[in-house]
Amino acid sequence: MSDVERRVSSGQSWADFCDALKRAGEQIQRPEAPADAFTRAEGYRYLSRLARAGLEWYLEFNDADFPVLYKPSHETIKIGADNPDNIYEKAVVNGRNDYRVRGKRGSVHYISMTTSKGSYAENFKQTETGFVDSNELDVDADGRFEIILSATPKPGNWLPMDVDSQSLLIRQTFLDRETEVPAEFVVERLDTGVAPLPLTAQKLDAGLRTAGTFVENTARMFADWSASWLDKPNQLPPANQELCQSVGGDPNIFYYHGFFDLADDEALVVEVARIPDCRSWNLQVDNYWMESLDYRYLRIHVNKHTAQYAADGSVRIVIAGRAPGVGNWLNTAGHRSGTLCFRWIGASEQVHPTCRVVKIDRLEQAEK
């Protein structure tokens, strides 16, 4: 019996995974993080979600010979200011192989596909190795297309990889989920076998170990991000774009991040003087752990399509814990503090948003 087989048979592999989850809990107890029971409850739920994400990525769907597109972030797994306007799909790949993605375009406003190397579990990075968006896709009259993923150029639709590429991420970004039809995708490796190999002790041990490290590193990284904004509350400055791209950000997006801290009778007013030519923009409210709030039931974000605009083309968004009687209200859903993310997607220029704290009563009176 090998050392790895002994680790699995004895339960040590599982025990080490559980120890990693326990260490990840230290991020929720960081001294600068809010110490109220609500925020910490969300923090521990967040860790449970990261555990699910890590197990899916590194164990359940971690076969680059038989890749499966799955949703790494969705309504109940939220990571790094996940975009409420997005459907995310991910597959594990190996840059030494060639793959084909078959799809049907649908009518979703924007699609991007990225191959990358590295991961939060390895080096806190996901470095882009190839990128293509929906404007570059050749689609037939029925809306169908094929795209080849490879480290060497191919004719037609081609998504580059290099030999170290490890993952494919597809983003579908909606303006209006009620009317737009999602795209459909299937991925397959070219020239592969007929069925995956059975699970081995080596695969189980490696998957648990990497999943545990993913939970620890992801929790630490985004807790560091939130902590870095605490000394400048209620502002929404441009983010470090190089940093955003290094962790897997869409290269067509310019990001802003910030921290809000409001009393019960206060609102944060975010204003954008003009909207440049762009594919889209949006603003979302997140909790301290950079999870989007529950957009299934509450209006916690606004985008280019859903916003109400002033006559001069400007937009004012109001973030508050109760309805202030004005348009573009985003609900903080019981959060007195949390984080924010604003995006320009494919914008011709960046018009920086401005922020100010006001009393909710004054907003209500101004509308009367």
Q: Are residues 70 and 123 in the same domain?
A: yes
Domain that holds residue 330: 231-367
- How many domains does the chain fold into? 3
Query: What CATH number is given to the structural domain containing 160?
Result: 2.60.120
Per-residue pLDDT reduced to its tens digit, 230-245: 999 999 999 999 999 9
176 with 293, same domain: the answer is no
**Is-contact 76 138, C-beta < 8 A?**
no
Range 111-143 burial, b when 16+ CB lie within 10 A, else e: bbbbbbbbbbbeebbbbbbbbbbbeebeeeeee
Q: Determine the pLDDT at residue 366.
A: 59
Q: In the prediction, which pLDDT does 192 show?
A: 76
Ramachandran angles phi, psi of 227, nearest 5°: -60, -30
144-150 and 99-104 strand pairing:
antiparallel
pLDDT, position 191: 84
Residue 184 pLDDT = 98
| Structure tokens given for 15 | 């025990």
CB 360 within 8 A of CB 266: yes
Question: Domain check: are 95 and 159 in the same one?
Answer: yes
What is the rounded CA–CA span in Å between residue 234 and residue 356?
7
Q: What is the DSSP letter of 104?
A: E
Say how far apart CA 224 and CA 279 lie, in whole Å: 30
Let me know whether 187 and 168 are in one domain.
Answer: yes
Residue 124 is predicted with a pLDDT of: 86
Among 140, 173, 192, residue at a domain's last position: 192
Mean pLDDT by 10 residues, the chain (368 residues): 96 99 99 98 99 98 97 98 99 98 98 97 92 97 98 98 98 98 98 87 98 98 98 98 97 99 98 98 99 98 98 98 95 98 98 98 71
**Cα separation, 259 vs 229, whole angstroms:** 6
Number of Cβ within 10 Å of residue 179's Cβ equals: 9
Indicate if 53 and 72 belong to the same structural domain: no
CB hemisphere CA count around 256 (13 angstroms): 24
For residue 321, what is the domain's CATH number? Answer: 2.60.120.600
Which residues are CB-neighbours of 104 under 8 A, at least 6 positions away? 142, 143, 144, 145, 183, 184
State the pLDDT at residue 364: 66
Same-domain check for residues 297 and 251: yes
Q: Could you tell me if 144 and 154 lie in one domain?
A: yes
Which residues, listed in sequence order, are joined to residue 115 by a DSSP beta bridge? 130, 168
Do 131 and 182 lie in one domain? The reply is yes
Give Cα 68 to chain centroid, integer Å: 19
Say yes or no: 114 and 184 in one domain. Answer: yes
Q: Which two tokens stand for residue 190?
A: 């070219």
pLDDT number for residue 365:
67
Ramachandran quadrant class, 334 (left: phi over 0; alpha: psi -120 to 50; beta: rest): left
Domain boundary among 165, 192, 219: 192
**39 and 126 part of one domain:** no
Q: What is the mean pLDDT of the chain?
A: 97
CB 214, CB 53: distance < 8 Å: yes
Helix axes 12-24, 37-55, angle to 10 degrees: 140
Is the same domain home to 246 and 289? yes
Q: Give residue 195's pLDDT.
A: 87
The amino acid sitting at 172 is Q
For the chain, the straight-line distance linking the first and the last C-alpha, in angstroms and rounded, comes to 78
pLDDT of res. 193: 74
User: Residue 358, Cα to own-chain centre: how many angstroms?
Assistant: 30
* Spatial separation of the C-alpha atoms in residues 147 and 158, rounded to whole Å: 5
Is there a contact between 166 and 90 (Cβ–Cβ < 8 Å)? no
For the chain, percent of residues with pLDDT exceeding 70: 99
CA angle 321, 221, 279 (to 5 degrees): 65
